[in-house]
Amino acid sequence: MPRPRHRLVSTCVGTVTAGLLATGAALAAPDDEAPRGSDIAMGAYLGYGPPGVARIPYLSHWLGGREIRVGHTYLPGDQWAGVEGDVNFLADWAEWRRAEDDRMFVLNVPMQARNEDRVPDWQVAQLIRAGAEGQYDRHFRKLAERLVALGVPDTVIVLGWEMNGTTYTHRCGPDPEHWKAYWRRVVNTMRSVSGQEFKFDFAPNRGTDAIAWTKCYPGDDVVDVIGMDSYDQGPGRTFEDHVSQPYGLQQQVDFAKAHGKEISYPEWGLFRNGDNPEYVRRMLKWIEQHKPLYHTITDYCPHGVWRCKQNPQSAKVFREALAGQEPVEPTPVAPTPVTPAPVTPVPVTPTPVIPSPVGPAPVVPTPKFPTPEASVPPVAPAPQVPTPTPTPSPEVSVPPVEPTPVEPTPVDPTPVEPTPVVPEPVSPSPVAPSPVVPSPEVSVPPVLPPAPSPEVSVPAPASPSPSPLAPKPQPQPQPKPEPKPQPNNSRQWCVPLNFGEWLNALVGNQTVCVRFDWGEDSGFWPF
Protein backbone atom coordinates (compact mmCIF):
# COMPACT_ATOMS: atom_id res chain seq x y z
CA MET A 1 0.00 0.00 0.00
CA PRO A 2 1.55 3.33 -1.05
CA ARG A 3 2.54 5.77 1.63
CA PRO A 4 0.14 8.68 2.16
CA ARG A 5 2.53 11.33 0.90
CA HIS A 6 0.67 12.64 -2.15
CA ARG A 7 0.83 16.40 -2.51
CA LEU A 8 -2.63 17.89 -2.88
CA VAL A 9 -3.52 21.09 -4.68
CA SER A 10 -4.60 23.67 -2.15
CA THR A 11 -7.77 24.53 -4.09
CA CYS A 12 -8.97 20.89 -3.93
CA VAL A 13 -8.32 20.29 -0.23
CA GLY A 14 -11.98 20.49 0.72
CA THR A 15 -13.10 18.17 -2.08
CA VAL A 16 -10.44 15.57 -1.35
CA THR A 17 -11.18 15.68 2.37
CA ALA A 18 -14.83 14.98 1.73
CA GLY A 19 -13.84 12.11 -0.55
CA LEU A 20 -11.61 10.66 2.11
CA LEU A 21 -14.42 10.72 4.63
CA ALA A 22 -16.75 9.05 2.17
CA THR A 23 -14.40 6.32 1.02
CA GLY A 24 -12.72 5.76 4.40
CA ALA A 25 -9.26 6.12 2.85
CA ALA A 26 -6.46 7.09 5.21
CA LEU A 27 -4.25 9.67 3.57
CA ALA A 28 -1.99 12.01 5.48
CA ALA A 29 -2.26 15.78 5.46
CA PRO A 30 -0.20 17.73 2.92
CA ASP A 31 3.52 17.91 3.51
CA ASP A 32 3.48 21.63 4.22
CA GLU A 33 0.83 21.25 6.98
CA ALA A 34 2.21 18.29 8.96
CA PRO A 35 5.42 16.25 9.11
CA ARG A 36 5.60 13.33 6.73
CA GLY A 37 4.92 9.80 7.96
CA SER A 38 1.96 7.71 8.94
CA ASP A 39 -0.70 9.12 11.23
CA ILE A 40 -1.01 5.81 13.09
CA ALA A 41 -0.89 6.45 16.82
CA MET A 42 2.69 5.84 17.84
CA GLY A 43 4.77 6.23 20.93
CA ALA A 44 7.70 4.75 22.80
CA TYR A 45 8.28 3.32 26.21
CA LEU A 46 10.53 6.00 27.73
CA GLY A 47 10.32 5.10 31.42
CA TYR A 48 7.54 4.02 33.75
CA GLY A 49 7.30 7.17 35.90
CA PRO A 50 7.45 10.97 35.58
CA PRO A 51 10.78 10.86 33.65
CA GLY A 52 9.00 8.86 30.94
CA VAL A 53 6.35 11.57 30.69
CA ALA A 54 8.97 14.32 30.62
CA ARG A 55 10.88 12.71 27.73
CA ILE A 56 7.91 12.67 25.35
CA PRO A 57 8.33 16.24 24.01
CA TYR A 58 12.04 15.62 23.44
CA LEU A 59 11.29 12.53 21.39
CA SER A 60 8.75 14.55 19.42
CA HIS A 61 11.36 17.22 18.75
CA TRP A 62 13.87 14.57 17.65
CA LEU A 63 11.27 13.32 15.15
CA GLY A 64 10.93 16.76 13.63
CA GLY A 65 7.85 17.75 15.61
CA ARG A 66 5.86 14.57 15.05
CA GLU A 67 3.08 14.21 17.63
CA ILE A 68 3.57 11.41 20.13
CA ARG A 69 0.05 10.19 20.73
CA VAL A 70 0.72 7.08 22.83
CA GLY A 71 1.96 7.13 26.40
CA HIS A 72 3.01 3.65 27.54
CA THR A 73 3.96 2.44 31.01
CA TYR A 74 3.78 -0.64 33.28
CA LEU A 75 2.38 -1.31 36.73
CA PRO A 76 4.82 -3.03 39.10
CA GLY A 77 3.98 -6.68 39.74
CA ASP A 78 6.00 -7.31 42.88
CA GLN A 79 3.03 -6.74 45.22
CA TRP A 80 -0.73 -6.57 44.87
CA ALA A 81 -0.63 -2.89 45.80
CA GLY A 82 1.16 -2.22 42.52
CA VAL A 83 -1.39 -4.22 40.55
CA GLU A 84 -4.12 -2.14 42.23
CA GLY A 85 -2.49 1.01 40.82
CA ASP A 86 -1.41 2.28 44.23
CA VAL A 87 1.52 4.15 42.66
CA ASN A 88 2.08 7.89 42.38
CA PHE A 89 3.17 7.98 38.74
CA LEU A 90 -0.32 7.09 37.42
CA ALA A 91 -1.41 10.65 38.17
CA ASP A 92 1.39 12.03 35.94
CA TRP A 93 0.37 9.83 33.02
CA ALA A 94 -3.31 10.66 33.53
CA GLU A 95 -2.51 14.36 33.41
CA TRP A 96 -0.57 13.90 30.15
CA ARG A 97 -3.44 11.88 28.63
CA ARG A 98 -6.11 14.45 29.54
CA ALA A 99 -4.13 17.29 27.94
CA GLU A 100 -5.16 16.22 24.38
CA ASP A 101 -8.28 14.37 23.24
CA ASP A 102 -6.52 12.25 20.61
CA ARG A 103 -3.92 10.85 23.03
CA MET A 104 -3.94 7.24 24.15
CA PHE A 105 -2.77 5.83 27.47
CA VAL A 106 -1.51 2.21 27.30
CA LEU A 107 -1.00 0.44 30.63
CA ASN A 108 0.52 -3.02 31.06
CA VAL A 109 -1.20 -4.72 34.03
CA PRO A 110 0.18 -7.90 35.67
CA MET A 111 -2.28 -10.62 36.63
CA GLN A 112 -0.26 -11.87 39.61
CA ALA A 113 1.88 -10.51 42.41
CA ARG A 114 5.55 -11.64 42.47
CA ASN A 115 5.21 -11.51 38.72
CA GLU A 116 8.94 -11.78 37.95
CA ASP A 117 10.01 -14.07 40.81
CA ARG A 118 10.45 -17.23 38.70
CA VAL A 119 7.61 -19.03 40.47
CA PRO A 120 7.53 -22.78 39.53
CA ASP A 121 4.80 -24.13 37.25
CA TRP A 122 2.97 -26.10 39.95
CA GLN A 123 2.60 -22.96 42.06
CA VAL A 124 1.59 -20.88 39.03
CA ALA A 125 -1.17 -23.41 38.36
CA GLN A 126 -2.46 -22.92 41.92
CA LEU A 127 -2.42 -19.14 41.52
CA ILE A 128 -4.28 -19.37 38.20
CA ARG A 129 -7.03 -21.47 39.78
CA ALA A 130 -7.29 -19.06 42.71
CA GLY A 131 -7.76 -16.22 40.25
CA ALA A 132 -10.34 -18.16 38.28
CA GLU A 133 -12.29 -18.65 41.52
CA GLY A 134 -12.39 -14.88 42.08
CA GLN A 135 -9.89 -14.60 44.94
CA TYR A 136 -8.14 -11.62 43.30
CA ASP A 137 -11.18 -9.74 41.97
CA ARG A 138 -10.87 -6.98 44.59
CA HIS A 139 -7.40 -5.96 43.34
CA PHE A 140 -8.60 -5.34 39.80
CA ARG A 141 -11.72 -3.56 40.98
CA LYS A 142 -9.51 -1.13 42.90
CA LEU A 143 -7.41 -0.57 39.78
CA ALA A 144 -10.48 0.18 37.66
CA GLU A 145 -11.83 2.60 40.26
CA ARG A 146 -8.48 4.41 40.46
CA LEU A 147 -8.20 4.82 36.68
CA VAL A 148 -11.75 6.17 36.45
CA ALA A 149 -11.07 8.55 39.36
CA LEU A 150 -7.90 9.83 37.60
CA GLY A 151 -9.92 10.70 34.49
CA VAL A 152 -8.50 7.99 32.23
CA PRO A 153 -11.45 5.56 31.91
CA ASP A 154 -10.52 4.81 28.27
CA THR A 155 -7.10 3.32 29.14
CA VAL A 156 -5.89 0.51 26.88
CA ILE A 157 -5.03 -2.29 29.32
CA VAL A 158 -2.42 -4.82 28.15
CA LEU A 159 -3.45 -7.52 30.60
CA GLY A 160 -1.11 -10.43 31.36
CA TRP A 161 1.21 -9.63 28.45
CA GLU A 162 3.45 -12.33 26.91
CA MET A 163 1.32 -15.00 28.59
CA ASN A 164 2.58 -17.66 26.15
CA GLY A 165 6.16 -17.36 27.46
CA THR A 166 7.98 -18.48 30.60
CA THR A 167 9.09 -15.17 32.10
CA TYR A 168 6.12 -14.04 34.16
CA THR A 169 4.08 -15.57 36.96
CA HIS A 170 0.92 -14.65 35.04
CA ARG A 171 1.86 -17.07 32.24
CA CYS A 172 -0.77 -19.30 30.71
CA GLY A 173 1.12 -22.57 30.09
CA PRO A 174 0.68 -24.36 33.45
CA ASP A 175 -3.15 -24.31 33.17
CA PRO A 176 -4.56 -22.72 29.96
CA GLU A 177 -8.24 -23.44 30.69
CA HIS A 178 -8.26 -21.88 34.14
CA TRP A 179 -6.08 -19.04 32.83
CA LYS A 180 -8.76 -18.11 30.30
CA ALA A 181 -11.39 -18.22 33.07
CA TYR A 182 -9.15 -15.99 35.19
CA TRP A 183 -8.78 -13.45 32.34
CA ARG A 184 -12.56 -13.35 31.96
CA ARG A 185 -13.04 -12.64 35.68
CA VAL A 186 -10.53 -9.77 35.60
CA VAL A 187 -12.13 -8.15 32.54
CA ASN A 188 -15.69 -8.53 33.83
CA THR A 189 -14.67 -7.19 37.25
CA MET A 190 -13.07 -4.07 35.78
CA ARG A 191 -15.94 -3.52 33.36
CA SER A 192 -18.38 -3.60 36.28
CA VAL A 193 -16.98 -0.31 37.60
CA SER A 194 -19.17 2.63 36.69
CA GLY A 195 -17.73 5.07 34.13
CA GLN A 196 -15.16 2.72 32.62
CA GLU A 197 -14.42 2.58 28.88
CA PHE A 198 -11.40 0.27 28.97
CA LYS A 199 -10.00 -1.62 25.99
CA PHE A 200 -8.34 -4.94 26.80
CA ASP A 201 -5.32 -5.87 24.67
CA PHE A 202 -4.38 -9.58 24.40
CA ALA A 203 -0.64 -9.37 23.53
CA PRO A 204 1.43 -12.59 23.38
CA ASN A 205 5.03 -13.00 22.27
CA ARG A 206 5.56 -13.56 18.57
CA GLY A 207 5.92 -17.26 17.76
CA THR A 208 5.04 -20.37 19.67
CA ASP A 209 7.27 -19.77 22.71
CA ALA A 210 6.17 -22.08 25.58
CA ILE A 211 2.63 -22.58 24.31
CA ALA A 212 0.68 -21.57 21.21
CA TRP A 213 -0.94 -18.26 22.15
CA THR A 214 -4.19 -19.25 20.45
CA LYS A 215 -4.66 -21.84 23.24
CA CYS A 216 -4.77 -18.97 25.74
CA TYR A 217 -7.22 -16.78 23.84
CA PRO A 218 -10.10 -16.16 26.32
CA GLY A 219 -12.86 -15.17 23.89
CA ASP A 220 -14.05 -12.32 21.69
CA ASP A 221 -16.37 -10.90 24.35
CA VAL A 222 -13.49 -10.12 26.72
CA VAL A 223 -10.84 -9.02 24.18
CA ASP A 224 -10.85 -5.73 22.25
CA VAL A 225 -7.39 -5.74 20.64
CA ILE A 226 -5.05 -8.57 19.59
CA GLY A 227 -1.51 -7.31 20.04
CA MET A 228 1.92 -8.86 19.72
CA ASP A 229 5.36 -8.16 21.21
CA SER A 230 7.88 -8.61 18.39
CA TYR A 231 11.60 -8.01 18.97
CA ASP A 232 14.52 -8.70 16.65
CA GLN A 233 15.19 -12.17 18.04
CA GLY A 234 14.20 -15.80 17.55
CA PRO A 235 12.30 -17.70 16.57
CA GLY A 236 13.30 -16.81 13.02
CA ARG A 237 16.49 -15.28 11.67
CA THR A 238 15.03 -12.91 9.11
CA PHE A 239 12.01 -10.65 9.05
CA GLU A 240 10.39 -13.02 6.56
CA ASP A 241 10.67 -15.70 9.25
CA HIS A 242 8.99 -13.37 11.75
CA VAL A 243 6.10 -12.98 9.34
CA SER A 244 5.59 -16.54 8.16
CA GLN A 245 6.49 -18.64 11.21
CA PRO A 246 3.73 -20.41 13.17
CA TYR A 247 1.95 -17.89 15.43
CA GLY A 248 4.01 -15.11 13.84
CA LEU A 249 3.05 -11.70 12.50
CA GLN A 250 0.93 -12.99 9.63
CA GLN A 251 -1.04 -15.34 11.85
CA GLN A 252 -1.70 -12.47 14.26
CA VAL A 253 -3.17 -10.35 11.46
CA ASP A 254 -5.24 -13.24 10.13
CA PHE A 255 -6.50 -14.25 13.58
CA ALA A 256 -7.54 -10.68 14.43
CA LYS A 257 -9.36 -10.30 11.11
CA ALA A 258 -11.20 -13.57 11.67
CA HIS A 259 -12.34 -12.41 15.11
CA GLY A 260 -13.13 -8.84 14.06
CA LYS A 261 -10.43 -7.26 16.28
CA GLU A 262 -7.91 -4.48 15.82
CA ILE A 263 -4.21 -5.26 16.15
CA SER A 264 -1.43 -3.54 18.07
CA TYR A 265 2.31 -3.74 18.76
CA PRO A 266 2.80 -2.68 22.40
CA GLU A 267 6.47 -3.72 22.37
CA TRP A 268 8.91 -3.97 19.49
CA GLY A 269 12.55 -3.11 18.97
CA LEU A 270 16.08 -4.41 18.53
CA PHE A 271 17.49 -7.20 20.66
CA ARG A 272 19.75 -10.04 19.50
CA ASN A 273 21.31 -8.75 16.28
CA GLY A 274 22.75 -5.38 17.32
CA ASP A 275 22.21 -2.32 15.16
CA ASN A 276 19.84 -3.79 12.55
CA PRO A 277 18.39 -1.04 10.32
CA GLU A 278 16.84 -3.61 7.97
CA TYR A 279 14.67 -5.01 10.75
CA VAL A 280 13.52 -1.50 11.75
CA ARG A 281 12.73 -0.64 8.13
CA ARG A 282 10.73 -3.84 7.61
CA MET A 283 8.87 -3.55 10.90
CA LEU A 284 7.83 0.04 10.18
CA LYS A 285 6.72 -1.01 6.71
CA TRP A 286 4.66 -3.85 8.21
CA ILE A 287 3.03 -1.40 10.65
CA GLU A 288 2.28 1.03 7.84
CA GLN A 289 0.74 -1.72 5.78
CA HIS A 290 -1.53 -3.26 8.43
CA LYS A 291 -2.57 -0.12 10.32
CA PRO A 292 -2.57 -1.22 13.95
CA LEU A 293 -4.50 0.73 16.58
CA TYR A 294 -1.12 1.85 17.97
CA HIS A 295 2.52 0.83 18.22
CA THR A 296 5.21 1.70 20.77
CA ILE A 297 8.88 0.94 20.37
CA THR A 298 10.78 -0.01 23.53
CA ASP A 299 13.32 2.78 23.68
CA TYR A 300 16.15 1.80 25.98
CA CYS A 301 19.26 -0.26 25.35
CA PRO A 302 19.59 -2.59 23.59
CA HIS A 303 16.13 -2.17 22.03
CA GLY A 304 15.89 1.57 21.41
CA VAL A 305 16.77 3.99 18.65
CA TRP A 306 16.64 7.37 20.40
CA ARG A 307 18.00 7.06 23.94
CA CYS A 308 20.22 4.11 23.05
CA LYS A 309 23.16 5.53 21.07
CA GLN A 310 24.61 2.14 20.13
CA ASN A 311 22.13 1.75 17.23
CA PRO A 312 22.82 4.81 15.02
CA GLN A 313 21.85 3.19 11.69
CA SER A 314 18.54 1.92 13.04
CA ALA A 315 17.91 5.34 14.60
CA LYS A 316 18.42 6.98 11.21
CA VAL A 317 15.92 4.64 9.55
CA PHE A 318 13.36 5.14 12.30
CA ARG A 319 13.71 8.90 12.15
CA GLU A 320 13.50 9.19 8.38
CA ALA A 321 10.45 6.95 8.22
CA LEU A 322 8.48 8.77 10.90
CA ALA A 323 9.70 12.33 10.42
CA GLY A 324 11.04 12.43 6.88
CA GLN A 325 13.61 15.03 7.90
CA GLU A 326 17.32 15.24 8.39
CA PRO A 327 18.65 15.07 11.95
CA VAL A 328 18.13 18.35 13.77
CA GLU A 329 20.74 17.66 16.47
CA PRO A 330 18.37 17.93 19.43
CA THR A 331 19.44 14.48 20.55
CA PRO A 332 21.73 15.76 23.36
CA VAL A 333 18.85 17.88 24.64
CA ALA A 334 16.99 14.84 25.95
CA PRO A 335 19.79 13.46 28.10
CA THR A 336 20.61 16.95 29.37
CA PRO A 337 17.82 17.04 31.97
CA VAL A 338 18.69 13.52 33.02
CA THR A 339 22.47 14.00 33.35
CA PRO A 340 22.48 17.01 35.71
CA ALA A 341 20.80 14.96 38.40
CA PRO A 342 23.83 12.66 38.86
CA VAL A 343 26.20 15.62 38.34
CA THR A 344 24.98 17.37 41.49
CA PRO A 345 26.15 14.64 43.88
CA VAL A 346 29.65 14.74 42.30
CA PRO A 347 30.60 18.09 43.88
CA VAL A 348 28.99 16.97 47.10
CA THR A 349 31.44 14.10 47.47
CA PRO A 350 34.60 16.25 47.45
CA THR A 351 33.10 18.61 50.02
CA PRO A 352 33.14 16.04 52.81
CA VAL A 353 36.79 15.32 51.96
CA ILE A 354 38.21 16.90 55.13
CA PRO A 355 41.58 15.29 55.78
CA SER A 356 42.64 18.38 57.76
CA PRO A 357 40.28 17.75 60.69
CA VAL A 358 41.25 14.10 60.63
CA GLY A 359 44.79 15.08 61.61
CA PRO A 360 43.82 17.08 64.70
CA ALA A 361 41.10 14.58 65.58
CA PRO A 362 43.53 12.31 67.53
CA VAL A 363 44.94 15.40 69.31
CA VAL A 364 43.57 15.65 72.86
CA PRO A 365 42.43 19.29 72.47
CA THR A 366 39.41 18.16 70.45
CA PRO A 367 37.12 18.03 73.51
CA LYS A 368 38.42 21.43 74.65
CA PHE A 369 37.39 23.15 71.40
CA PRO A 370 40.79 23.39 69.77
CA THR A 371 39.27 21.57 66.78
CA PRO A 372 38.56 24.79 64.82
CA GLU A 373 42.08 26.03 65.52
CA ALA A 374 43.63 22.71 64.59
CA SER A 375 41.77 22.71 61.27
CA VAL A 376 44.17 25.46 60.06
CA PRO A 377 47.55 23.89 59.36
CA PRO A 378 49.69 26.89 60.48
CA VAL A 379 47.96 26.99 63.85
CA ALA A 380 49.00 23.36 64.47
CA PRO A 381 51.79 24.42 66.91
CA ALA A 382 49.34 26.70 68.70
CA PRO A 383 47.34 23.85 70.25
CA GLN A 384 50.58 22.32 71.56
CA VAL A 385 51.35 25.42 73.65
CA PRO A 386 47.97 25.55 75.42
CA THR A 387 47.85 21.80 75.89
CA PRO A 388 50.42 21.73 78.71
CA THR A 389 48.82 24.79 80.25
CA PRO A 390 45.25 23.54 80.75
CA THR A 391 46.23 19.93 81.36
CA PRO A 392 48.46 20.52 84.40
CA SER A 393 46.19 23.25 85.73
CA PRO A 394 43.75 20.79 87.35
CA GLU A 395 46.69 18.68 88.54
CA VAL A 396 48.62 21.63 89.95
CA SER A 397 45.62 22.45 92.08
CA VAL A 398 45.93 19.02 93.67
CA PRO A 399 49.45 19.45 95.15
CA PRO A 400 48.43 22.54 97.11
CA VAL A 401 45.64 20.49 98.60
CA GLU A 402 48.08 17.77 99.67
CA PRO A 403 50.47 20.01 101.63
CA THR A 404 47.58 21.20 103.78
CA PRO A 405 47.13 17.76 105.30
CA VAL A 406 50.94 17.37 105.45
CA GLU A 407 51.22 20.06 108.14
CA PRO A 408 48.93 18.28 110.60
CA THR A 409 50.51 14.91 109.78
CA PRO A 410 52.25 14.54 113.17
CA VAL A 411 49.06 15.62 114.86
CA ASP A 412 47.01 13.44 112.48
CA PRO A 413 46.08 10.89 115.17
CA THR A 414 44.77 13.62 117.41
CA PRO A 415 42.58 15.50 114.91
CA VAL A 416 41.57 12.43 112.90
CA GLU A 417 39.81 10.90 115.89
CA PRO A 418 38.06 14.08 117.01
CA THR A 419 37.24 15.25 113.45
CA PRO A 420 33.64 14.02 113.50
CA VAL A 421 33.09 15.36 117.04
CA VAL A 422 29.35 14.86 117.49
CA PRO A 423 29.18 15.64 121.31
CA GLU A 424 27.85 18.73 122.96
CA PRO A 425 30.96 20.95 123.03
CA VAL A 426 30.92 23.64 120.40
CA SER A 427 34.67 24.08 120.35
CA PRO A 428 35.36 20.90 118.33
CA SER A 429 33.31 22.21 115.39
CA PRO A 430 35.92 24.85 114.48
CA VAL A 431 38.62 22.26 115.10
CA ALA A 432 37.08 19.91 112.52
CA PRO A 433 37.50 22.32 109.65
CA SER A 434 41.03 23.20 110.75
CA PRO A 435 42.54 19.86 109.58
CA VAL A 436 40.02 20.07 106.73
CA VAL A 437 40.72 16.59 105.46
CA PRO A 438 37.50 16.47 103.46
CA SER A 439 37.75 20.10 102.37
CA PRO A 440 39.94 19.46 99.28
CA GLU A 441 37.42 16.92 98.04
CA VAL A 442 34.49 19.06 99.12
CA SER A 443 35.67 21.74 96.72
CA VAL A 444 35.10 19.33 93.83
CA PRO A 445 31.61 18.02 94.72
CA PRO A 446 30.15 20.46 97.32
CA VAL A 447 27.24 18.14 97.99
CA LEU A 448 29.36 15.39 99.61
CA PRO A 449 30.04 16.83 103.10
CA PRO A 450 26.38 16.98 104.26
CA ALA A 451 25.84 13.22 104.00
CA PRO A 452 29.10 11.38 103.22
CA SER A 453 28.19 7.94 104.49
CA PRO A 454 24.99 7.11 102.54
CA GLU A 455 25.58 9.07 99.34
CA VAL A 456 29.32 8.44 98.91
CA SER A 457 28.78 4.69 99.04
CA VAL A 458 26.28 4.74 96.15
CA PRO A 459 27.92 7.06 93.59
CA ALA A 460 31.46 6.01 94.46
CA PRO A 461 31.89 3.76 91.41
CA ALA A 462 30.38 6.39 89.09
CA SER A 463 32.54 9.37 90.06
CA PRO A 464 36.26 8.91 90.82
CA SER A 465 36.51 11.92 93.14
CA PRO A 466 34.47 10.54 96.09
CA SER A 467 36.08 7.10 95.91
CA PRO A 468 39.25 7.99 97.86
CA LEU A 469 37.11 9.48 100.63
CA ALA A 470 35.14 6.31 101.15
CA PRO A 471 37.82 4.28 103.02
CA LYS A 472 38.74 7.03 105.52
CA PRO A 473 35.48 7.27 107.48
CA GLN A 474 34.82 3.49 107.44
CA PRO A 475 38.04 2.12 109.14
CA GLN A 476 38.01 4.90 111.72
CA PRO A 477 35.42 4.32 114.49
CA GLN A 478 33.62 7.63 114.10
CA PRO A 479 30.68 7.22 116.50
CA LYS A 480 32.84 7.13 119.69
CA PRO A 481 35.35 9.98 119.67
CA GLU A 482 34.34 11.61 122.98
CA PRO A 483 37.70 13.11 124.19
CA LYS A 484 38.00 16.78 123.74
CA PRO A 485 40.45 17.91 121.12
CA GLN A 486 43.49 19.73 122.29
CA PRO A 487 44.47 23.05 120.80
CA ASN A 488 47.41 23.10 118.45
CA ASN A 489 49.73 24.80 121.00
CA SER A 490 48.85 22.51 123.94
CA ARG A 491 51.62 20.73 125.85
CA GLN A 492 49.36 17.89 126.87
CA TRP A 493 48.74 14.85 124.59
CA CYS A 494 45.66 12.78 125.41
CA VAL A 495 44.96 9.38 123.90
CA PRO A 496 41.58 7.63 124.33
CA LEU A 497 41.55 4.10 125.76
CA ASN A 498 39.49 1.43 124.04
CA PHE A 499 38.51 -1.60 126.23
CA GLY A 500 36.06 -3.06 123.79
CA GLU A 501 32.51 -2.20 123.03
CA TRP A 502 30.86 -3.88 126.06
CA LEU A 503 33.55 -2.82 128.61
CA ASN A 504 33.49 0.75 127.44
CA ALA A 505 29.74 0.72 128.01
CA LEU A 506 30.37 -0.23 131.71
CA VAL A 507 33.50 1.76 132.54
CA GLY A 508 32.92 4.64 130.18
CA ASN A 509 35.31 6.24 127.76
CA GLN A 510 38.69 6.80 129.42
CA THR A 511 41.57 8.91 128.27
CA VAL A 512 45.27 8.88 129.21
CA CYS A 513 46.92 12.27 128.96
CA VAL A 514 50.70 12.94 128.98
CA ARG A 515 52.06 16.41 129.54
CA PHE A 516 55.28 17.58 127.94
CA ASP A 517 57.36 20.18 129.77
CA TRP A 518 59.07 21.45 126.66
CA GLY A 519 59.01 25.17 126.51
CA GLU A 520 58.11 27.15 123.50
CA ASP A 521 61.66 28.45 123.35
CA SER A 522 63.30 25.05 123.69
CA GLY A 523 63.22 24.38 119.95
CA PHE A 524 61.44 21.03 120.40
CA TRP A 525 57.91 22.30 120.24
CA PRO A 526 56.56 21.49 116.83
CA PHE A 527 53.98 24.27 116.56
471-482 pLDDT per residue, tens: 444 444 455 444
Q: Is 323 helix (H, G, I), strand (E, B) or coil?
A: helix
Calpha distance 514→526 (Å, rounded)? 16
pLDDT, average across residues 223-235: 97
Higher local confidence (pLDDT), 509 or 349 = 509
25-46 pLDDT per residue, tens: 333 333 344 334 468 999 999 9
Task: Annotate 60-124 with DSSP letters as a single string.
Answer: HHHTTT----EEEEE---SSHHHHTT--THHHHHHHHHHT-TT-EEEEEE-SSSSTTS---HHHH
Looking at residue 380, what DSSP letter applies?
Answer: T
Q: Is 511 helix (H, G, I), strand (E, B) or coil?
A: strand
Residue 510 pLDDT: 67
144-176 pLDDT per residue, tens: 999 999 999 999 999 999 999 999 999 999 999
Kindly tell me if the per-residue pLDDT of 13 is higher than 60.
Answer: no
Residue 323 pLDDT: 87
pLDDT, average across residues 115-130: 97
381 backbone dihedrals φ, ψ, rounded to 5°: -65, -30
Question: In the chain, where are the structural domains located?
Answer: 1-34, 36-346, 488-527
Kindly tell me if the per-residue pLDDT of 71 is higher than 60.
Answer: yes
Residue 39 pLDDT: 83
Q: Are 160 and 110 in contact (CB under 8 A)?
A: yes
pLDDT, average across residues 431-451: 42
Calpha distance 436→308 (Å, rounded)? 87
Q: Is 7 helix (H, G, I), strand (E, B) or coil?
A: coil
Orientation angle between helical segments 121-132 and 176-191, nearest 10 degrees: 40
Check: CATH 3.20.20.100 for 36-346? no
Q: Which of the residue ranges 128-142, 218-232, 421-435 would you say has the lowest mean pLDDT?
A: 421-435
Kindly tell me if the per-residue pLDDT of 285 is higher than 70.
Answer: yes
322-355 pLDDT per residue, tens: 985 444 444 343 443 444 444 444 444 444 444 4
